[in-house]
Amino acid sequence: MRAPSTRIGLISDTHNLVRPEALQYLAGCDAIIHAGDICNPSVLDALAQIAPLTAVRGNNDVGEWAAAVPTHAKLTVQQVAILVVHDIADVPAGPRSDGIHVVVTGHSHKPSISERDGVLFVNPGSAGPRRFKLPVSAGMLIVEGAQATAKFDLLLT
């Protein structure tokens, strides 16, 4: 029998902007991961109203509120271990040897999905203010048992 799927919304680099398109995209998720550069706790409040939220602090998250947000987070969904960090440069070497199956990052504002050494690396891009000509995007991680797949979608064209 196939494991039920868990839908995890992925968002990053909101930079104090909670777009209605992002809230609509994340509606119905089982959980949400914010990969940093939140810039205001009201962003987290808005996301937490949709689904359980895991968030990490980005390089632009400063102040008293941000000190309470961790720089790294680990969670397990079904049989998939997920590591969340803002900047891919902060991912420890060999995450697979630490039992990590998926790494979620932000920072670059560039949406990407790749697999390295059996680990799925996902960057949902930026859902905040448009930067240069980079897209405004968010992502979705689907977990079924020990399997995880990811996609990202443009929120604005």
Burial class (CB in 10 A: 0-12, 13-18, 19+), 145: middle
Domains in the chain and their CATH numbers?
Answer: 5-156 (3.60.21.10)
Q: What is the DSSP letter of 66?
A: H
* pLDDT the model gives residue 4: 86
Helix (H, G, I), strand (E, B) or coil at 52: coil
* pLDDT the model gives residue 1: 63
The tens digit of pLDDT for each residue in 66-77 reads 999 999 999 999
Residues contacting 90, CB < 8 A, separation 6+: 71, 72
Reduced 3-state DSSP string for 124-157 = CCECCCCCCCCCEEEEEEEEECCEEEEEEEEEEC
* pLDDT the model gives residue 132: 84
* CB hemisphere CA count around 7 (13 angstroms): 13
Q: Which residues of the chain fall below pLDDT 50? A: none
Q: Smallest Cα–Cα separation from 54: which of 6, 17, 117?
A: 6
Pairing assessment for the beta strands 136-144 and 147-156 based on DSSP bridges: antiparallel
Q: At 52, give phi and psi (nearest 5°).
A: -55, 140
The tens digit of pLDDT for each residue in 100-127 reads 999 999 999 999 999 999 999 999 999 9
* pLDDT the model gives residue 133: 87
* CB hemisphere CA count around 125 (13 angstroms): 25
* pLDDT the model gives residue 144: 97
* pLDDT the model gives residue 31: 98
